[in-house]
Amino acid sequence: MKRSFTQLSQDERRTLAQLLQKQIPKVRIAEILGRDRSTIYREIKRNWWRDTEIPEADGYWHTTAQTLANGRRLRQRKLVRLPKLRAAVIDRLKEGWSPEQIAGRLKIEPRSPFRLCHETIYQYVYSKEGQSQELARYLPERRRRRRPRYARKARDRVFPLEVSIHQRPEAINNRTQFGNWEGDLMIFKRENGNANVATLVERKTRYTVLFRNNDRKSKPIMNRLIAELSPLPHSARRSITFDRGFEFTAWRELIHGMGTQAWFCDPQG
């Protein structure tokens, strides 16, 4: 049977700190507190105090641990505590915005009094409150089900350093060579279905190609790109530069399908 997890109380943290000072093994501490040992290990790791100026002060202190835990809980519950912010986030989710887009917009809006991490939005969507409002159905399809954070595939495996924009030849950067494109995808509201429009802009001439896709998955999009560009001579389809969206994770199809190199911009902050 799956166990339900609850945060340690302040009294439990006090006892934990005292037992650590007595050098009691962590497995034994878990038995004393009636907790799973993974809970104890996680608690110590997350709330261990490190003092860069006074290394002797490093350690697990129950008051500090409680303060750190409360701070994380407040950040995670921001959308519960602030109804106006919550309403604005939900409205944009329903309009087809991703959590990353919502968080990024709040950062640059000059009159916005709020700042919000996209992970906080995901946490709210997957919470009991978010599930009761069925908010997950407004997320991009790839994120409708929650996966453990540390089980996610590292993006540097999908977009390795060799295809970073920083490795791109200077002839592409200064727009002196023909045949290098910039690719992007325009995605519409979810109620409009999976239809999207791909854009290709040739960097030197600014010649633009637009075409419709009926699937948001990466491989069909790449196959459509290949179908559109394959009739051109190789000198007219040397490379395409994309952002790091999941819509472009099948970029290797371009190399295998028609010998066109893919480059990728830096991740958005």
SS (H, E, C) 22-66: CCCCHHHHHHHHCCCHHHHHHHHHHHCECCCCCHHHCECCHHHHH
Q: Taking 80 as the threshold, does the pLDDT of residue 27 lie above it? A: yes
The whole-angstrom separation of Cα 169 and Cα 190 is 38
Between these two residues, 256 and 52, which has the higher pLDDT value?
A: 256
Between these two residues, 145 and 140, which has the higher pLDDT value?
A: 140
pLDDT score for 192:
67
Which uninterrupted H or E stretch holds 182? Answer: strand 180-187
> How would CATH label the architecture of 156-264?
2-Layer Sandwich (3.30)
List beta partners, residue 201.
Answer: 182, 208
The whole-angstrom separation of Cα 27 and Cα 202 is 61
pLDDT score for 144:
52
Q: Taking 70 as the threshold, does the pLDDT of residue 201 lie above it? A: yes
Count CB atoms within 10 A of the CB of residue 24.
Answer: 14
Both tokens of 57, joined, read 């002060």
Helix (H, G, I), strand (E, B) or coil at 239: strand
Q: Tokens 């190199």 map to which residue? A: 261
Between these two residues, 263 and 217, which has the higher pLDDT value?
A: 263
pLDDT (tens digit per residue) in 210-243: 988 888 788 888 989 999 999 999 999 999 999 8
Q: Taking 80 as the threshold, does the pLDDT of residue 248 lie above it? A: yes
The answer to whether 136 touches 144, Cβ cutoff 8 Å, is yes
pLDDT score for 4:
47
Between these two residues, 4 and 84, which has the higher pLDDT value?
A: 84
pTM of the model: 0.44
Report the mean per-residue pLDDT for the chain. Answer: 82
**118: which residues sit within 8 A by CB, 6+ positions away?**
98, 99, 100, 102, 103, 104
Q: Taking 80 as the threshold, does the pLDDT of residue 167 lie above it? A: yes
